């Protein structure tokens, strides 16, 4: 089977017709307890339900690598035609790929980039948005709003997740450019993608007297948590630039309120539908792109309403 690598979302993966009949697809989600992954799971289920003869079995890995590995092994043992995985730990995907390949079961990773993305077998694929763009779009806008100078605090995602690692690297890459080299990261900490942890970390920074001009968070949930902590001490939000990623409905509401200044739209529907369609095609023995990119889009107060119904 020919290996294909595309830089844009393949139009062939977005057709609306049914591809197959009587196909069973196992889906292992990293967690149900995450705002964006809930949108992604819903999109996967909706696309599966819309395709005649396709049955999905969706399970929650509860952020436990061992649980997810067991789910994949159970899918294989039960004879599914394909597997979709949102990885708990992107460093653990080699084992997942090996198990699926040994059983000749097609596998599609979605949203979180597997560590072995460039070594996937021909019947495996990755559907997501290119994380080089997410943190880059976000940080360039922060730089523009601050005229290229100021102190920044960073809330990082899970350090075992390639998504968070890349989004943080994007921040550093933008700050290394001539136009943004006046920005300085004075604090950074992982909040594991969680609103509550973002709140706690920001509360600790404020209690310690940390002063900053901007908050750059790897996702909207952590940004919202930071906003809640800042508002709890009556910080003037008009003087702080806050940036997230995902453009969730909660994030758009925070932007309407004047608290969130920047986010980046990540197309959960596009990723979810693309993952199901790729899995169905692979189950039928058809070629699909091994990397399917669903573009990120910058969201600011001037264009936010066009994203109100996108996810």
Residue 1: band (very low, low, confident or very high) from pLDDT cuts 50, 70, 90 = very low
Q: Distance (Å, rounded) from C-alpha 54 to C-alpha 114? A: 25
Asked whether residue 13 carries a pLDDT value surpassing 50, the answer given is no
Burial track 102-121 (b if 16+ CB lie within 10 A, e otherwise): ebebbbbbbbbbbebbeebb
Residue 215: band (very low, low, confident or very high) from pLDDT cuts 50, 70, 90 = very high
Residues 280 and 226 placed together within one structural domain of the fold: no
Could you tell me which residue, 17 or 278, shows the higher pLDDT?
Answer: 278
Which residue is it, tokens 């959960």?
268
- Please give the sequence-ordered ranges of beta strands (E in DSSP) within the chain, or none if there are none: 23-29, 54-60, 82-85, 107-110, 124-128, 149-156, 182-190, 214-217, 241-243, 263-265, 291-293, 297-299
Residue 311: band (very low, low, confident or very high) from pLDDT cuts 50, 70, 90 = low
* 134 within 8 A of 264, measured Cβ to Cβ: yes
Residue 6 lies in a domain: no
Q: What is the DSSP string of 188-200?
A: EEE-TT-HHHHHH
Per-residue pLDDT of 33-67, as tens digits, reads: 988 899 999 999 999 999 999 999 999 999 999 99
Residues 258 and 289 placed together within one structural domain of the fold: no
- CA neighbor of 30 nearest in space, from 136, 155, 137, 128: 128
For 51, 83, 90, 149, 188, the CA distances from 273, given in Å and listed in that order, are 10, 14, 21, 40, 34
Burial grade of 78 (CB within 10 A; 0-12, 13-18, 19 or more): exposed
- What is the 3-state composition of the chain as percent helix, strand, coil, each rounded to the nearest 5? 45, 20, 35
Q: Point out the least confidently predicted range of 18-32, 48-62, 156-170, 189-203.
A: 18-32
Asked whether residue 6 carries a pLDDT value surpassing 50, the answer given is no
Residue 65 lies in a domain: yes
Average pLDDT, the chain: 92
Residue 276 lies in a domain: yes
Number of structural domains found in the chain: 2
Q: What is the mean pLDDT of residues 155-179?
A: 95
Q: What is the mean pLDDT of residues 102-126?
A: 96
Which residue is it, tokens 């932007």?
255
Residues 144 and 191 placed together within one structural domain of the fold: yes
Residues 137 and 97 placed together within one structural domain of the fold: no
Residues 135 and 255 placed together within one structural domain of the fold: yes
Report the pLDDT value the prediction gives residue 3, as an integer from 0 to 100: 39
Report the pLDDT value the prediction gives residue 288, as an integer from 0 to 100: 94
Could you tell me which residue, 15 or 287, shows the higher pLDDT?
Answer: 287
Residues 184 and 255 placed together within one structural domain of the fold: yes
Instruction: State the pTM of this model.
Output: 0.79
Residue 94 lies in a domain: yes
CA dihedral 157, 162, 165, 169 (to 10 degrees): -140
Residues 177 and 105 placed together within one structural domain of the fold: no
Residues 15 and 105 placed together within one structural domain of the fold: yes
**10 Å Cβ neighbour count for 38?**
15
Residues 82 and 154 placed together within one structural domain of the fold: no
Enclosing domain of residue 203: 131-265
Look up residue 13 and give its DSSP letter.
Answer: G
In 3-state terms, what secondary structure has residue 57? Answer: strand
**CATH, residue 49:** 3.40.50.2300
Per-residue pLDDT of 289-310, as tens digits, reads: 999 999 999 999 999 999 998 8
């Amino acid at each position: 089977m020919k290996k294909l690598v595309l830089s844009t979302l393949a139009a062939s993966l977005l057709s609306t017709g049914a591809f197959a009949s009587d196909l069973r697809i196992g889906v292992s989600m990293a967690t149900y307890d995450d705002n964006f992954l809930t949108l992604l799971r819903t999109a996967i289920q909706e696309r599966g339900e819309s395709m005649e003869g396709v049955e999905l079995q969706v399970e929650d890995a509860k952020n436990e690598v061992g649980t997810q590995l067991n789910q994949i092994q159970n899918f294989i043992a039960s004879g599914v035609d394909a597997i979709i995985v949102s990885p708990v730990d992107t460093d653990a995907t080699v084992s997942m790929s090996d198990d699926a390949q040994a059983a000749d079961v097609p596998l599609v990773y979605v949203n979180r980039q597997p560590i072995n993305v460039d070594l996937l077998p021909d019947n495996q694929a990755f559907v997501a948005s290119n994380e080089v763009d997410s943190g880059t779009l976000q940080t360039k806008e922060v730089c523009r709003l601050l005229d290229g100078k100021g102190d920044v605090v960073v809330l990082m995602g899970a350090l075992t997740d390639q998504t968070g690692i890349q989004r943080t690297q994007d921040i550093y890459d933008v700050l290394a450019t001539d136009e943004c080299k006046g920005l300085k990261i004075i604090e950074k900490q992982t909040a594991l993608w969680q609103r509550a942890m973002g709140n706690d970390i920001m509360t600790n920074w404020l209690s310690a007297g940390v002063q900053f001009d901007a908050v750059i968070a790897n996702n909207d949930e952590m940004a919202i948590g930071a906003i809640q902590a800042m508002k709890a001490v009556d910080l003037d939000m008009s003087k702080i630039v806050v940036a997230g990623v995902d453009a969730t409905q909660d994030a758009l509401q925070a932007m309407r309120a004047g608290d969130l200044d920047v986010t980046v739209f990540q197309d959960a529907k596009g990723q979810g539908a693309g993952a199901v369609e790729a899995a169905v095609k692979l189950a039928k023995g058809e070629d699909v792109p091994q990397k399917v990119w669903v573009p990120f889009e910058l969201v600011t107060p001037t264009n936010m309403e066009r994203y109100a119904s996108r996810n």
